[in-house]
Amino acid sequence: MSSVREAVAALRAGKLVAFPTETVYGLGANAENVHAVRKIFAAKGRPPDHPLIVHVAAAGQIDEWAVSISDDARILAAVAWPGPLTLVLHRHPRIPDVVTGGRPTVGLRVPSHLVAHELLTQFGGGVAAPSANRFGHVSPTCAAHVLADLGDRVDVIVDGGMTDIGVESTIVDVTLDPPMLLRHGAVTVDMITAILGRAPQETAGPSRASGMLASHYAPRCQLVLVDSRAHADSAADGLYGTVDVLAPGDDLSSYARGLYGWLRDADNRGVDTLIVVRPPAVGLGLAIDDRLRKAAANR
Ligand code: TXA
Ligand code: MG
C-alpha cells in the first residue's frame, strides 16, 4: 500500500495505480500515455472497445478535455462536480483513441473523494480509470478487493478504506438533446431533472452504455432476485447446493455501500445461489437494481 506521492510518481512513469473514489476503486493510468492506458486493458482482461472514463481534479478543467460543450453539460458539471457523475462529452483532440475506443466522445468525471482529489491535483493531468476489478467481475469497494482481483497486475495501490457510495457513478450523455442517462448512480434521475429543469432520456432495461454488457458486475454464485423477504423463503424451497439470503433492508445508502462486498463474501463462503431482496425502485434503489439485474443475467 502506497502514498499519494508514490502514486503520482508511478503515474508519471507510465505505471498503473489503483486509487479510491467515492463510488468504487479505480485502476488509473496517465490518460495521454497510450502505452500506459493499454496496460489497463491487459490488467483487467477488458476488450479494447470498452471506453474508459477520464478523471480530472476540478470542474474548471472541462474545456481542457472536451469541446462543443452544451449548456446542460456546463450546468451539470457546475452543480454535481466534484461527485459521482460522469458526463459523456465531445472529446478534446488531446485524448488518444485508446481511451475512448475510437469514439468521438469521452466520459469525464471529477471525483469528490479526498484521496482521489489529492492524487489528481498533484498529478495535474487526466487519469483514465475503469473500476479496478477483472473484466465482468463486481467493482472493488476496498483495497483488499483490488488486491484479490488484480494482485501484482497493478503497480501501486493507495488504500483509502471502504468507499462511501459503493456503486459506480451515474453516466449522462450530454452530447444528446435531451441528455441521455446511460447508467444509474448516486446522482439520481430526480436530481438531474431538478438541475436541468427537464427529465433526461432513459434507455429501457438495464443500462447499456456503449461497451456495456447486459451481464456484468457479476459474482460467481447464481443470483435470484425477489421483491420481498417473504418471497425469499419460498424461492429457497427446491434449490440445491448452498443457498443464502441477502435482505439488506430499505436504507438505500447502506444497501449500495455494502452490496459488492456482500456479493464477494458470498463467493468466498462458497455460496451456490444467493437470493437477494431487491431495493425499492426509487432514488439510489434504481442504481442498485440495475447492478443486481446485470449480476443476475445469464452468463
Ligand atoms: O464510478 C465510476 O464511474 C468508476 C470510478 C473508478 O470512477 N469507474 C467506472 O468505470 O465504473 P468503468 O470503466 O468500470 O465503467 C465506465 C463505463 C463503461 O461501461 C463505459 O461503457 C462507459 O462508462 N463509458 C465510458 N466512456 C464512454 C463514452 N465515451 N460513451 C459512452 N459510454 C462511455
Ligand atoms: Mg467497471
Q: Is the CB of 82 under 6 A from ligand 1?
A: no
pLDDT, position 215: 63
Q: 168, 169, 173, 208: which to mutate for ligand 1, most atoms within 8 A of CB?
A: 168
Residue 210 has pLDDT above 60, yes or no: no
Looking at residue 183, its pLDDT comes to: 96
Sequence-separated contacts (24+) of 192-196 with Cβ below 8 Å: 192/76, 195/75, 195/76, 195/79, 195/80, 196/72, 196/75, 196/76
Ligand 1 proximity of 106 Cβ (cutoff 6 Å):
yes
- Residue 126: what pLDDT? 98
pLDDT the model gives residue 59:
98
pLDDT digits (tens, 9 = 90+) for 128-153: 999 999 999 999 999 999 999 999 99
71-105 in b/e burial notation, b at 16+ Cβ within 10 A? ebbeebbebbbbbbbbbbbebbeebbebbbeebeb
Provide the pLDDT for residue 234: 87
Res 238: pLDDT = 82
The ligand 1 atom at the shortest distance from the C-alpha of residue 23 is 1
Q: Supply the pTM of this predicted model.
A: 0.96
pLDDT score, position 237 = 87
220-238 confidence digits (pLDDT tens): 999 999 999 999 988 888 8
What is the CB neighbour count within 10 angstroms for residue 204? 6
Closest atom of ligand 1 to 129 CA is: 6
CA distance 107 to 87: 5
